[in-house]
Amino acid sequence: MTTNEVEAWLSTLKQSFGDLIANAQLSVNEVTLEVEESNLLVVARKLRDDDDLHFEQLIDLCGVDYLYYGQSDWETESASGNGFSRAVESQPTDPETIWGKPRFAVVYHLLSITNNKRLRIRCFVPEKTMMIPSVVSVWSGANWYEREAFDLFGIRFSEHDDLRRLLTDYGFSGHPFRKDFPLIGKVEIRYDATEKQCVYEPVSIEPRTLVPRVIRHDARYHHDEEDSVS
């Protein structure tokens, strides 16, 4: 669809759903509907069953952690005020970029094969309960996606009949896709020949800060040929 067609469709969605959606916006020529967890299943069923919508396929479901969102020194060169140089000198946080919404969200990517349209839904997760409704009853393909979000982010889905870890061990501690989870992990596993089984031990790697190698366009990082030769 052209940009004008997408904008017209966005306006139609706002009128159709009314108060059922908290927000609707156009980003990168794709519509995103922001839905409260209490309205999630109502909106999902309407999106699937309404002939004008008919989003019969869930392409993807993922968790998002907005911790430190808008405060990172590692944005893209075009998005950050001073490009990659922000990694060298800490910049003051812009008050307009401070995240004021819940930390965790679940994002759903939908496809209407019938109408050849795509749609994104975002539902924020209450931090007290870390729980939102499961959409498995609407799109059965959400089953393992929800298990993945539970495993990696700790987001729970009510009415899911088999909510258990999918990618990590059953005894794994923590949720590795959370922004405050240590990069080196918390435990390591090895095979003990004496006990003839795998054992867990505290991680032995020393924590360190990794600085990515980037291309500097700033004159502060350019050296004369004589300096480079010497």
**20 occurs within a structural domain:** yes
**136 occurs within a structural domain:** yes
Ordered alpha helix ranges (H), 33-137: 40-49
Q: pLDDT at position 219, please?
A: 62
**150 occurs within a structural domain:** yes
Q: pLDDT at position 7, please?
A: 87
Distances from the Cα of 151 to the Cα of 138, 169, 181, angstroms: 21, 10, 13
Distances from the Cα of 221 to the Cα of 75, 92, 190, 218, angstroms: 19, 22, 44, 6
For residue 40, the domain's CATH number is: 3.30.460.80
Q: pLDDT at position 84, please?
A: 46
Q: pLDDT at position 145, please?
A: 97
Expressed as residue numbers, the domain containing 11 is 3-66+101-174
**HSE value, Cβ hemisphere, 13 Å, CA-based, for 227:** 4
**192 occurs within a structural domain:** no
**14 occurs within a structural domain:** yes
- Name every residue whose Cβ is closer than 8 Å to that of residue 138 and which is 6 or more positions away in sequence: 41, 44, 45, 48
Q: pLDDT at position 78, please?
A: 47
Q: How would you write the pLDDT of the chain (230 residues) with one tens digit per residue?
A: 777 888 888 999 999 999 999 999 988 788 999 999 999 999 999 999 998 999 999 999 999 999 888 775 554 444 444 444 444 445 555 655 677 899 999 999 999 999 999 999 999 999 999 999 999 999 999 999 999 999 999 999 999 999 999 998 877 888 999 998 888 888 888 899 998 988 888 888 877 666 555 555 656 555 555 555 55
**222 occurs within a structural domain:** no
Q: Which two tokens stand for residue 213?
A: 């190698």
**18 occurs within a structural domain:** yes
pTM: 0.77
Q: pLDDT at position 48, please?
A: 96
According to DSSP, residue 49 is labeled H
User: Measured between alpha carbons, how far is 186 from 175 in angstroms, rounded to an integer?
Assistant: 11
Q: pLDDT at position 74, please?
A: 52
- What is the number of domains present in the chain? 1
**47 occurs within a structural domain:** yes
Q: pLDDT at position 171, please?
A: 76
